[in-house]
Structure 1
């Protein structure tokens, strides 16, 4: 039986977005409600109330996927559980030493990041597993339990276990976990061999410590959410989005929250990939501008992934959709530095108090106040008229800032937008250079509450000729929840060359990883999640023997069966990245990874946003942009013509969840899927 309704909810820093889609892919309802930092589940309940009021029968929802920033905010704000760490004797300072890299190579006085687990809560245990997996020294069980007793007495409620070489032989970690659970069943316990069994002691230990640090809070959140949705009569399976763009059950997410840290931005990229594929556009740069930041990602038919992402001050080794924050958001605050230079962000007004124009107590100007002052936002049409803005408050706070710059309110507003765009450009250009792409070859796909309002200014600065705004752009991350699949990554550290590999060893190891993945999918789907099919992707971290860095290479079954062919593919990849290769050198297989994907039933090809053209006359509004007063057409999406009759900017397209601003120099049309597409005028 097909899914009746799918509900996707994305909890952002400013707004919580909800989207309901039927089994044909038609959007039934989309809404935004203010996020509640102290009780994020309450924003979900508020969204369910609004959905019920709009006529959605929530009892017919049989798939509920949601993403939350609770885990990442817990790490950034350092308000997680009191966490202890057990390590092999001699490795107490593993979180302190890190990688001995300067965060800012131009600053000789930079502060070292405080370790997530303070040193006095790190306990050493006598045990030793060697790199081959053999046991050199048995686990000292008495010493282990004494160390845990001391940690519990110190107030520890969460415990991470990370022993040396546990990625190859987890026996000591498993024994330690069993002993501790028997004595302290109330502790939240996780071990590195279960979280991410890959060589790289610091990253593996840190991932385990992060999981323990946020686990207790995430677990209680999911419990409150599960109890709450049952009270609404919602019987759907509760699923959570993951950093790799996939989904998993909420129960597993509560035990492995480290896999969800970057799930919010990842959901948007998955939805953008879905939109771009339907539109027949293969090369896309996403531009997700919310209340706090702008996130960008590359899509070349498929999203790019990375195992070198960061959350706050901490690297995350677990693979995730490669998303980079490059600038300020709609709620980012404008301010003057010590020498009077205008800055925008990174501090944000958030949802409460929010921008000054929200009339919730905010007294500092934000980019949203700037857009309202310039006439691009309409005071009575924000969130479809459900939330009124106050232009007089925006003007007052902009004037106060402008006095210090010798500018009036309009000039200050334009300066804020210019500085925000310049900040984005300054980070965007070197990012694209590092990825080896020319952004002018790509389409900018904009979403988020503020993305469609600022995307054309960013495109103009960078030199991108084409911008795409999908239907319901302000809730696209919530849509990503409804179109994602079950997906997880499994890793095995190998460290062997093409010469030292045994016959069939590579095939055998990948088969073992795939079996782990298929078992995981079976467990996740056991709760009633229906799947169309299951497939597996294979890749390896490879390097030339003697090097200290790896390249990730995607492998086919043929290349896995013949490691020499895999080596040839590595030479080609190395040549493409560095412009040189060494075909005569020995190639090392450092780590093997298998990605399992359980595909949910696909939507029928029905375009919910392909509305008939509305020929009614456009409104007009006087705006100020680029320091010039000009008249802009004010339209609804259905009033935008097809590709055969594009119309020139300036144009303001007002929608419930966002406002699209097309400045002069661009012409805009609507394609057969309801996407608004703007192109540079010849």
Structure 2
């Protein structure tokens, strides 16, 4: 039975292979973790199974859950797999091809024959409206109700009941878009209508239009998922409000997420970085290179004192201007398939075996060799989920032999080669990312998580000259932990595009004051108790004639134009080593982010989840890096702070397997993190 008066916080991360469930007991501080196979068709089913398992196996009543936050890859997968809803688009007359023309940039600069990305809304689904607003916000051509309703009817009758309205210069004057939305809803109340200026009022017509189309494209599926999730969890007794994580690392209620699902596109990777930053603050390490290696991909972020954010992100073929945690996809994951190209060269990824059928060693019908099969064949991994799921090593070896026979290599040599190629792929992408950010790898710790991150991180650390490797107590559930510790967070933007010399101090302060009113209103609608409110103001600024801008953080309190100019010059000099303080500036965008800091659980004694059975220390034969040898096998839940050992070693736990190669020493710190350093 549930402990008397116990309150619980539930964090859930729905991945492509497994759904991670992390339950925190606010009374005792105890953590319970589950990994449930994800259901691609009905993603909420994995959450329901998790709730039922917590109730039946651990005695936790759903009614006792006081906080429930989750993240899902449903939106981004819908976009990448191109199986979203039909979207009709209303544009200003003369701009029907805005989604086709994009930015007239080649996807591959050195390939004139690269295929052109296909628009989410084909040209036949784009209708022109006779209206026009000038760049200054003045109406040039009025809008007509009859024209709007007629074009909307044509699109809806053709099957596009999601309508995106994307008029020129609506970021300056949104009256036409909002009027068109009202008229359409009066005639077609069941339609889902998105006004681009309402969603994200930033100049750059293609990107603003694209965000609106994406919102409609993934919206139907996301809203259906959110509604089904609420119904099914309520039927099991969950009474608390459910939150969804956002791309910017915050959370919002399901009602807001259903209206603006585009804000959840990169929420999965963002949750992991938020969790990693939380661990970093806990242990006093503010310089972290995060490595999230799951079943299908590897994501990297660089935390240098604060979580990094970017206003320009890419999802598949599409640029997304919404602010998001700055995460880069840099390689293939544990389920990535190994293959030979036309010249017989070994490649790994990007195609993945997914959850079904999964790697061959899962015994679910997979026959193609994957990175996980290589782990199994080399002896690094023999089971997952704390021994609940045994791996079929014989099937892994059979799959690897299909490539090894062609290469003239043994199964062990083939598996070792696959891991070396996977490591080289990650290394080749990581080094430029570090260089682009201008940091020295020796100053940073590699914090690894995801189901395969701890298994592969020390192989990468052999190649990178990093300070140390940090493996959190529950690395396979760090994204779920990120859901538990994320704050309420929302972003606001307004395009100005003014010469700084033409702006007054009053105009600058009035802009941010209006932002503040909107932001505080949003925070109030979330109906969540917060401990602290934080306001972050910034502006995108460039010199006259430049095509790219810098984001400049602005201080609290009243602002002056001269102060903003000096801050830009200082920032420009910091980035480029030079600043022309006499040149005129253009202030492009004003931005404001509001953060409602929620009460954080006390994870001071966060430690690995203990399985029902704890096997004693043993040894296992393995082959890795071209060498045959023996490795000591440890159960991580039995390792106490201060315990130290050298590789080669394998550390098994419920949510992952850690591989410590020869040449590294591991120590368990006071927070139960495994700290790996090179043996001097």
Q: TM-score, normalised by structure 1?
A: 0.96
Does 2:582 correspond to 1:580?
no
2:389 match: 387
2:224 match: 220
1:514 match: 516
1:256 match: 260
- TM alignment of 1:94-493, pairs within 5 A: 94-378=98-382, 381-493=383-495
TM-superposed CA distance for 1:605, in Å, is 5.9
TM-superposed CA distance for 1:611, in Å, is 10
2:678 match: 680
Task: Answer yes or no: is the 8 Å Cα contact 1:24–1:603 preserved in 2.
Answer: no
Distance 1:302 1:425 in 2: 24
Cα 1:314–1:567, aligned 2, differ >3 Å: closer, same or farther? same
Q: Tell me which moved more, 431-440 or 653-662.
A: 431-440
RMSD: 1.7
Distance 2:19 2:542 in 1: 43
3-state SS of the aligned residue for 1:339? coil
Task: Answer yes or no: is the 8 Å Cα contact 2:90–2:126 preserved in 1.
Answer: yes
Distance 1:510 1:345 in 2: 46
Distance 1:217 1:76 in 2: 14
TM-superposed CA distance for 1:175, in Å, is 0.6
3-state SS of the aligned residue for 2:386? helix
Distance 2:121 2:603 in 1: 50
Partner deviation per Cα, 1:42-67 (whole Å, 9 max, x = no partner): 11111112212222222111111111
Distance 2:62 2:387 in 1: 25
TM-superposed CA distance for 1:454, in Å, is 0.3
Distance 1:475 1:617 in 2: 24
Task: Answer yes or no: is the 8 Å Cα contact 1:294–1:325 preserved in 2.
Answer: yes
1:503 match: 505
Distance 2:9 2:28 in 1: 9
Distance 2:204 2:379 in 1: 53
The correspondence for 1:19, drawn from 14, 18, 22, is 22
Partner deviation per Cα, 1:15-55 (whole Å, 9 max, x = no partner): 11110113369352111111111111111111112212222
Task: Answer yes or no: is the 8 Å Cα contact 2:615–2:635 preserved in 1.
Answer: no
Distance 2:438 2:13 in 1: 31
Cα 1:43–1:487, aligned 2, differ >3 Å: closer, same or farther? same
Distance 1:272 1:664 in 2: 26
3-state SS of the aligned residue for 1:404? helix
* Structure 1 gaps, min length 5: none
TM-superposed CA distance for 1:276, in Å, is 0.4
Partner deviation per Cα, 1:521-580 (whole Å, 9 max, x = no partner): 10011xxx221122211111010122121101111025x512212211211211222222
TM-superposed CA distance for 1:14, in Å, is 0.9
Task: Answer yes or no: is the 8 Å Cα contact 2:68–2:240 preserved in 1.
Answer: yes
Distance 1:617 1:258 in 2: 48
Q: Tell me which moved more, 431-440 or 189-198.
A: 431-440
1:554 match: 553
TM-superposed CA distance for 1:297, in Å, is 0.4
Task: Answer yes or no: is the 8 Å Cα contact 1:3–1:63 preserved in 2.
Answer: no
3-state SS of the aligned residue for 1:620? strand
Partner deviation per Cα, 1:600-639 (whole Å, 9 max, x = no partner): 1123463132999xx9973211111112111111112244
1:9 match: 12
Task: Answer yes or no: is the 8 Å Cα contact 1:24–1:606 preserved in 2.
Answer: no
TM-superposed CA distance for 1:440, in Å, is 2.4
Distance 1:158 1:382 in 2: 43
Task: Answer yes or no: is the 8 Å Cα contact 2:11–2:480 preserved in 1.
Answer: yes
Task: Answer yes or no: is the 8 Å Cα contact 1:376–1:661 preserved in 2.
Answer: yes
The correspondence for 1:494, drawn from 492, 496, 509, is 496
* Structure 2 gaps, min length 5: none
Q: TM-score, normalised by structure 2?
A: 0.96
Q: Tell me which moved more, 231-240 or 565-574.
A: 565-574
The correspondence for 1:589, drawn from 582, 587, 590, is 587
Cα 1:479–1:589, aligned 2, differ >3 Å: closer, same or farther? same
Does 2:49 correspond to 1:51?
no
Task: Answer yes or no: is the 8 Å Cα contact 2:609–2:654 preserved in 1.
Answer: no
